[in-house]
């Protein structure tokens, strides 16, 4: 299943930094990010990613 970043942001009432039309089709740890993957940031020690 594939969604755009905009669709996901609207669903979770979030905001996007970057291209809202980016296709998202998987999940990844923030330190293992790759094209098409979504991550989240809850711990400030990961902000350098």
At 48, the pLDDT band (50, 70, 90 cuts) reads confident
Spatial distance between the Cα atoms of 19 and 36, rounded to a whole number of angstroms: 12
pLDDT tens-digit map of 23-44: 999 999 999 999 999 998 889 9
Percent of the chain with pLDDT over 70: 100
Domain count, the chain: 1
Q: Which domain range does residue 35 map to? A: 3-46
9-21 in b/e form (b: 16+ CB < 10 A) is eeeeeeeeeeeee
């Amino acid at each position: 299943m594939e969604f755009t970043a905009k669709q996901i942001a609207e669903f979770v009432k979030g905001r996007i930094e970057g291209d809202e039309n980016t296709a998202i089709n998987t999940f990844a740890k923030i330190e293992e990010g790759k094209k098409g993957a979504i991550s989240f940031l809850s711990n400030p020690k990961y902000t350098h990613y």
